[in-house]
Amino acid sequence: MTNSVLTDFTPNSPDLGWYVLNDNVMGGRSDGDFEQQEGELRFAGDTNTNGGGFSSIRTSSLQLDLSNHAGIQLRVRGDGRRYTWRLSTDASWRGRQISYWADFETTEGEWKTIDIPFDSFVPKFRGYQLDGPALDTAKITGMGLMIYDNQDGPFELLLDSVGAYSP
């Protein structure tokens, strides 16, 4: 298996321009933020399902061709909750940009390498699953990490690296 590291949060690693987007953009009450430290990114906060129930961090606009890869590879230490990795392309539905979501589970306090095959990403618009279009891995324009597991309470995920893997 061949891996390509997209970022590992070290000084020589690309800065992907992470920013926060929480459910307060639609009247929600969740709170989440991140801090980047040497060698890792910490995503933490508190979800509140009364009015949204999600917190996310996303990259600035990217131009990635991952068509020679089979999926995304994350190295994480979680809290036992379910998280979602998000990919964006130029794809749209009814003139609105869509994204592609794939969930992954964490184990509390344990570092894990998570492989998310590209064929497990589903197209969504504002959380609603669509029938298409299919993910075009040659035109990745953004990535993100989200918690949207229908649970209230604190969350914390440490992200050691983001990469793409090949079979």
- What helix, strand, coil percent values describe the chain, rounded to 5? 5, 55, 40
What pLDDT was estimated at residue 25?
A: 80
> For residues 156 and 43, what is the distance between their CA atoms, to the nearest angstrom?
6
**pLDDT tens digit string along 126-153?**
889 999 999 999 999 999 999 999 999 9
> For residues 29 and 80, what is the distance between their CA atoms, to the nearest angstrom?
22
What pLDDT was estimated at residue 1?
A: 53
- Cα–chain center distance at 38: 20
What pLDDT was estimated at residue 2?
A: 66
153 forms bridges with which residues in the sheet? 47
Give the mean model confidence (pLDDT) for residues 79-106.
97
Domain-wise residue ranges, the chain:
2-166
Kindly tell me if the per-residue pLDDT of 167 is higher than 80.
yes
> For residues 8 and 158, what is the distance between their CA atoms, to the nearest angstrom?
12
CA-wise closest residue to 158 among 36, 8, 37, 42: 42
Assign a CATH topology to domain 2-166: Jelly Rolls (2.60.120)
* Residues 60, 17 contacting (CB under 8 angstroms): yes
Query: pTM, whole model, 2 decimals?
Result: 0.95
